[in-house]
Amino acid sequence: MSAPKRELAFAKINLSLRVLGRRNDLYHELQSLVVFAGISDRIEARTATDLALDIEGPFAAALSSGRDNLVMRAARDLSDLCGVNAGAHITLEKNLPVASGIGGGSADAAATLRALLRLWKVAPEGTALTRLAASLGADVPVCLDPSPALMSGVGEKIVRLPRLPEFWLLLVNPGAALSTADVFRALAAPPLASAPEDVSLPDFVMLDGLVSWLENEPNDLERPARALLPVVGNVIGQIAATPGCRLARMSGSGATCFGIYAKEAEALAAASAFATAHPGWWAVAAPVVSGSG
C-alpha cells in the first residue's frame, strides 16, 4: 500500500487584476499578476477502493463533501482521464475562508491533482492535465504550480515569472463572502474592443519597483466589490494605516484584502493588531512562496 500523499494548497493572491473587457463568448478578458502566500489548505490522499472525501479544519462547515465538491470533481476527472481503477480517501484540511477571493477551492483542486498523480503513479500526456484543470475552473491551472505568474485571457494563458523580491503579506477577511458573479455583474465591463497585446513585465529586482508597478495596475473588481460590501473599503483603509504597509488592496473578487510589507516583523505586528481590534475577522501574515513549496 502506498504511503499517503500530502500537498499544500496555497492561497492565491491577485496583486493586480485588470478586466480588459467582455468577450464575444461572454467571458471576461483578464490580466493579473498572481503570487501565492505561505498559508494554505492541506490535502492528503490515501489508497482506498473508492473515492471519498473528509473535510476538517476551521472552515470545514462551509463546504459539502458531496460529488459537486471541486476536490471530488478533480479526483473523478483525473481517474477518468488516466483510466485509474483504484480509489482514494482524500482529506481536506480547510484553513482558508471560503468564497473569499484567494482561490481556495481552485488551489484545493490543483493540490488534489498533484497528490493523486503521485498516489496513482500516473502522468497525463502533453497538455491533458492543464486542459483538465481548466475544465474545473479558470484559476485551477495557475494553481498547479504555486509560483508567481502573469495570467491573461480567462486564466488559460500563464507566464511563470522569475523569482520576485522577497516580501510578506497581511491577509484580512472580514467574515463576509462576495459572489464573483455579482461582482462582475456590478462591474458591467464593456465589450472587448480589440485583441489585447502581450504584456512584458519589468524585472522586479527590488520591492520598490514591484510596488511602483502595482500602483499603476489596480484590481478593477475592487470598485464594484466596495459598492456591494462597503466593509471592503474599511478593511483596505485599516491595512494601509498599519506601520510598514507598502500597498493595500483587495484580492480577486473579494472580500479578502491584503497589504504588502518588506519585513516579517511588520506583517506579524499588523496581523496581531487586527486580531486584537477585530477578533471575528480572519487575519494572517505570510511570506510569498517562490515555488511549489
Catalytic residues: 12, 139
Long-range contacts of the stretch 224-228 (C-beta < 8 A, 24+): 224/183, 224/184, 224/186, 224/187, 225/178, 225/183, 225/186, 225/250, 225/253, 225/254, 225/255, 227/186, 228/178, 228/182, 228/183, 228/186
Residue 224 φ then ψ, to 5° = -65, -35
Chain-centre distance for alpha carbon 218: 17
User: Rounded to 5 degrees, what are φ and ψ at 105?
Assistant: -65, -40
Instruction: Name the 3-class secondary structure at 163.
Output: coil
Pairing of strands 168-173, 87-93: unpaired
